[in-house]
Structure 1
Amino acid sequence: MLITMSEEELHRIGVIKGVCNKQLTQMTAASMLGLTRRHIQRLVNQFRQDGEVGLVSKRRGQASNRRFLPEFREKVFTLVKQKYADFKPTFACEKLAELHGIKLSSETLRQWLITEGLWRVRKRKQKKIYQPRYRRECYGDLVQIDGSHHDWFEGRSAKCCLLVFIDDATSQLMSLRFCESETSYDYMNITREYIDNYGKPIAFYSDKHSVFKVNSPSRKSSKQMTQYGRILYELNIELICANSSQAKGRVERANRTLQDRLIKEMRLAGINTIEEANAWLPEFMADFNRRFACSAYSSQDAHRPAQESAVELDDIFTRQSSRTVSNSLTLQYDKVIYLLDPTDKAKRLVNKRVMIYDYPDGTIALRYCGEELTYSVFDTLRHVQQGEIVSNKRLGAALAFAKESQEERAEEHHRHRNKKAGSRKAQARCINPVFMQDVEFKASLTRD
């Protein structure tokens, strides 16, 4: 009869053979198998009497002594069919224990239900395979960019975001910048700094954050670009959005390393604020690249010099939008009404679209066909649209700003209430005769 043995039994047979052939002592065999010497002697006697079959468990193929009785199993099936037919195994187990006093493992019940065809095993979704991609050959050919939201200062300052630019060919950190949240202006500033330091790369590789891609369902079919996408288009830099985080794994792994090393380095350096960190980051980048950067396959530098002047770059790195001039020479942008000076040139712009340049420092410029238009701020709209959407990556900064504004308004309201209350008391004392009589009566009691 053919008997299938487990690896443990095969190992035990080999050790017992070694004892029988006097290649191992019984004490050595006992330590190897985790048994006592007397048990080793029993196994040796069984092996000499019955051979290898004597070392096989005699209970193989027999039912376990701890098995549930068939009557108990039928009772469970009856209850499940009558009361818990649509319950999942774990939930049914809880109810059996709570309402019927039947203690049973949820996995045991699951296997019973599968055997009886009362529960169907769910097929697990096959994990998607991401095969590795070779590095780009040239330095500056592809730069991966991402924002990492983390408690970078370990509670010494508020949570913030670190913008990371890393070269795909060399894993070299190109630019780092701390900011309160992941906004278009922050990416404009770090990209401008990157171009000033290295030039223009061939392409940036990012995720599908709203800074890089228009994610509105109604606009997916259109060719509308975000402000950051428009900037890269004017600079002749390609923007590639990855379909998954694994696709831009180089910057994701760099974020994980930075969340370990950078935090500890800032703790040792005594850096507690965003301003201090941004001033110190070049020193950290130089040390990091010395340790972890590698050489590119090609010695060619794919960066291109910026052909635009500093003034042209200032105009490119802005939020640009167009508005129609009304009959009263006004236009509205960002809840502010701007009034054009009533010149002959401005009067000819009625019902025409003018460009608005919103610079990162907060200044606004109005232009038509490249010509500057003079204006004044007419009014600031005070109403707030309740349907305004805040990106989830900016929610922390938005809530912090809202909390600060609410505290300031609460203090101002409290001071206003105290001031009004004081004025009302003063008026009551002056004009209320009942109050005056009460004061005179209390004074008489004091005198008496």
Structure 2
Amino acid sequence: MDKMSAREWKRLEAVERIGRGELTVRRGGELLGLSVRQMRRVCRAVEARGRAGVVHGNGGRRARNRVAQSKRARIVKLRRGKYAGFNDQHFTEKLAEAEGLVVSRATVRRVLREAGIEAARKRRPPRHRRRRERKAQEGQMIIWDGSSHRWLEERGPQLCLQGAIDDASGKLLAGAHFEAQECAAGYLRVLAAIVRTHGVPWSAYMDRHSSLKRNDDYWSLEEELKGAQEPTQVGRALRALAVEVIYALSPQAKGRVERLWGTLQDRLVSELRLAGARTVAEANAVLERFREDFNRRFAVAASVAQPAWRGLKRGVDLERECSFYYPASVLNDNTVRIGGEVIDIPPGPRNRGYAHAQVEVRQLLDGSWRVYYQGRVIATAAARQQPVPLRALKRNRRKPSAAHFALADARSTAALSLEHTL
């Protein structure tokens, strides 16, 4: 009787007060939401059986829809074996999709806790932060980042997952893939895949990783004359595609992509384990399948249905823009030497040579090389290694201090004065 519900205690109190003459049967029924006939029946039940008269007849009985013991044992066995490490919701989905066991998440959670299986992740209370409203249309802003993690656990090396989400819908966009570490080539691959699959975004929100933003204090002479540093290889590609760059000042500022990593480090790691992935190629294959399922489950509808992705401007070569750029001079023997590579330039029209010409050297994402002169390809070279950004040319001097420029101005003014005097 100590486990009587509040409703049952209330009924008992009303019956006792009716017995003491403090309430009429009609008034007691009104307080309990019962008719006079029902109230009299409750009073007779209490008179005959005491407190048990207000207890529901099903109390203490085994539920008719209780999960069978054999099914409960199978759920526990699967969670401890094949689906070890899966969170409750993810495990519930797998039971329905792959094992033919359709049970609710609450049931799965109860069965697992009763069996002593704790939740996969402990969740801390969230700190209060002001929420930034999503963009209205898909394509208005992407948020991209890299996450280094033991994605393959002990089956393979530590990898970095580089990818982007659409701010308006939360979709994991095309191009997400694994690299050995966060790098410029990875971001360029993501950008190229997004443009090919979805279109050109209006803006990109990112952190200040050295692949995305120049954080050094070295300036070339040309940069000093312009008063601005050249962008990174990724920054150059974004500028060529007219994508606005927005830098986050903290991890919390790009909360949506950070929450994405938390979800993926839970669900995707489990999927990779289930698939037995051990290599980068196997992991990327699982990721591509997972991306569609992730978007189906977690993406939201943008507030404006019409997407805002831009088409690629006519005449823009995406392979060229999403590659590594190096300015160079052609040597007397009509070769370009860069990063240990020697690229031979064949004769041009009318057997002309290109010695001393200023050219644009591009290493594409497949590792091959192209040499451009006045916007036209004049030489190519096969890939010998995967693209790795070389140290920018002529970036070997620190930017002179303000005092240096002030002294130079003073000397220039003095020289002009002396010239006028003479």
Q: Does 1:278 align with 2:284?
A: yes
Q: Does 1:232 align with 2:238?
A: yes
Contact residue 192 and residue 322 of structure 2 kept, 8 A: yes
Aligned to 2:263: 257
- Equivalent position amino acid for 1:166 in 2: I
How far apart are 1:150 and its partner, in Å? 0.4
Contact residue 271 and residue 286 of structure 2 kept, 8 A: no
Aligned to 2:18: none
What TM-score do the two structures reach when normalised by structure 1? 0.51
Secondary structure at the counterpart of residue 218 of structure 2: helix
How far apart are 1:371 and its partner, in Å? 3.0
- Equivalent position amino acid for 1:246 in 2: Q
How far apart are 1:308 and its partner, in Å? 4.4
In 2 relative to 1, CA 361–259 (structure 1 residues): closer, same or farther, beyond 3 Å? same
Aligned mates of 1:346, 1:331 — CA distance in 2: 18
Q: How many residues align?
A: 252
- Trace 1:66-105 onto structure 2 (pairs within 5 A): none
Aligned mates of 1:169, 1:344 — CA distance in 2: 51
- Trace 1:197-208 onto structure 2 (pairs within 5 A): 197-208=197-208
Contact residue 212 and residue 241 of structure 1 kept, 8 A: no
In 2 relative to 1, CA 286–344 (structure 1 residues): closer, same or farther, beyond 3 Å? closer
Q: Does 1:180 align with 2:176?
A: no
- Equivalent position amino acid for 2:363 in 1: D
Contact residue 144 and residue 251 of structure 1 kept, 8 A: yes
- Equivalent position amino acid for 2:131 in 1: P
- Equivalent position amino acid for 1:158 in 2: P
- Equivalent position amino acid for 2:294 in 1: F
- Equivalent position amino acid for 2:336 in 1: L
Higher relative contact order (CA 8 A, sep 6+): 2
Higher helix share: 1
The alignment's C-alpha RMSD in Å is 3.0
Contact residue 164 and residue 251 of structure 1 kept, 8 A: no
Aligned mates of 2:192, 2:381 — CA distance in 1: 29
CA shift digits 1:408-437 (9 cap, x unpaired): xxxxxxxxxxxxxxxxxxxxxxxxxxxxxx
Aligned to 2:124: none
Aligned to 2:133: 134
Aligned to 1:194: 194
Contact residue 340 and residue 346 of structure 1 kept, 8 A: no
In 2 relative to 1, CA 299–332 (structure 1 residues): closer, same or farther, beyond 3 Å? same
- Equivalent position amino acid for 1:233 in 2: R
Contact residue 369 and residue 381 of structure 2 kept, 8 A: no
- Equivalent position amino acid for 2:250 in 1: S
Secondary structure at the counterpart of residue 174 of structure 1: coil
How far apart are 1:161 and its partner, in Å? 0.6
Q: Does 1:333 align with 2:338?
A: yes
Contact residue 343 and residue 379 of structure 2 kept, 8 A: no
Aligned mates of 1:313, 1:194 — CA distance in 2: 11
Aligned mates of 1:218, 1:354 — CA distance in 2: 23
Contact residue 341 and residue 375 of structure 1 kept, 8 A: no
- Equivalent position amino acid for 1:353 in 2: Q
CA shift digits 1:134-186 (9 cap, x unpaired): 11111221110000000001111111110121111222211321111222222
Further displaced range: 365-374 or 244-253:
365-374
Contact residue 329 and residue 346 of structure 1 kept, 8 A: no
Aligned to 2:217: 217
How far apart are 1:270 and its partner, in Å? 2.5
Aligned to 2:328: 323
CA shift digits 1:291-335 (9 cap, x unpaired): 2222222222111122346x8222222212111123343432012
Contact residue 329 and residue 347 of structure 1 kept, 8 A: no
Aligned to 2:376: 371
Aligned mates of 1:209, 1:221 — CA distance in 2: 22
In 2 relative to 1, CA 252–136 (structure 1 residues): closer, same or farther, beyond 3 Å? same
- Trace 1:131-170 onto structure 2 (pairs within 5 A): 131-170=130-169
Q: Which has the larger radius of gyration?
A: 1
Aligned mates of 1:251, 1:376 — CA distance in 2: 38
CA shift digits 1:205-236 (9 cap, x unpaired): 11111111111123496241111111122122
How far apart are 1:366 and its partner, in Å? 1.6
How far apart are 1:129 and its partner, in Å? 8.5
Contact residue 326 and residue 362 of structure 2 kept, 8 A: yes
Aligned mates of 2:185, 2:350 — CA distance in 1: 32
Aligned mates of 2:350, 2:337 — CA distance in 1: 19
Aligned mates of 1:376, 1:142 — CA distance in 2: 36
Aligned mates of 1:375, 1:155 — CA distance in 2: 41
CA shift digits 1:366-421 (9 cap, x unpaired): 221123334889xxxxxxx9xxxxxxxxxxxxxxxxxxxxxxxxxxxxxxxxxxxx
Aligned to 2:296: 290
Aligned to 2:363: 358
- Equivalent position amino acid for 1:133 in 2: R
Secondary structure at the counterpart of residue 155 of structure 2: coil
Unpaired segments of 5 or more residues in structure 2? 1-126, 220-225, 383-389, 391-422
In 2 relative to 1, CA 346–134 (structure 1 residues): closer, same or farther, beyond 3 Å? farther
Unpaired segments of 5 or more residues in structure 1? 1-127, 378-384, 386-448
Aligned mates of 1:232, 1:293 — CA distance in 2: 25
- Equivalent position amino acid for 1:145 in 2: W
Q: Does 1:306 align with 2:305?
A: no
How far apart are 1:188 and its partner, in Å? 1.6
In 2 relative to 1, CA 296–359 (structure 1 residues): closer, same or farther, beyond 3 Å? same
Secondary structure at the counterpart of residue 337 of structure 2: strand
How far apart are 1:339 and its partner, in Å? 4.1
In 2 relative to 1, CA 329–163 (structure 1 residues): closer, same or farther, beyond 3 Å? same
* Identity of matched residues, %: 35
- Equivalent position amino acid for 1:222 in 2: A
In 2 relative to 1, CA 287–353 (structure 1 residues): closer, same or farther, beyond 3 Å? same
